[in-house]
Amino acid sequence: MLWEPPNSIEELRPFYLECNELWKGGSAYSFSIYSKSSDQFIGRVSIRETKQPYRWNLGFWTHPLHQGQGYMGEAVAAILEFGFKTLNATCIEAAHATWNRASGRVLQKAGMKFSAHVPQGFQKRGEWVAEDRFEIVKAVWIARQ
Higher model confidence: residue 26 or residue 114? 114
Structural domain boundaries enclosing 138: 28-144
pLDDT, one tens digit per residue, over 40-93 is 888 999 999 999 999 999 999 998 888 999 999 999 999 999 999 999 999 999
Q: What per-residue confidence (pLDDT) applies to 144? A: 95
DSSP letter for each residue of 50-69: -SSTTEEEEEEEE-GGGTTS
Look at residue 2 and tell me if it is in a domain. no
22 within some domain:
no
* Domain presence at residue 139: yes
Does position 11 have pLDDT exceeding 90, yes or no? no
72 lies in a domain? yes
- Residue 37's pLDDT is what? 86
Q: How far apart are alpha carbons 116 and 139 in whole angstroms? A: 20
Position 18 scores a pLDDT of: 85
Q: Is the pLDDT of residue 143 over 60?
A: yes
Inter-residue contact 41 to 55 (CB < 8 Å): no
Q: By the 8 A CB rule, do 112 and 94 touch?
A: yes
Are the C-beta atoms of residues 60 and 44 closer than 8 Å to each other?
Answer: yes
Per the structure, how many domains does the chain have? Answer: 1
Q: How confident is the model at residue 6 (pLDDT cuts 50, 70, 90)?
A: low
Q: What is the pTM of this model?
A: 0.88
The DSSP 8-state label assigned to residue 46 in this structure reads E
Q: Residue 99 falls within a domain, yes or no?
A: yes
CATH of the domain at 77: 3.40.630.30
Instruction: State the average pLDDT for the chain.
Output: 91
Question: What pLDDT, on a 0 to 100 scale, did the predictor assign at position 95?
Answer: 97
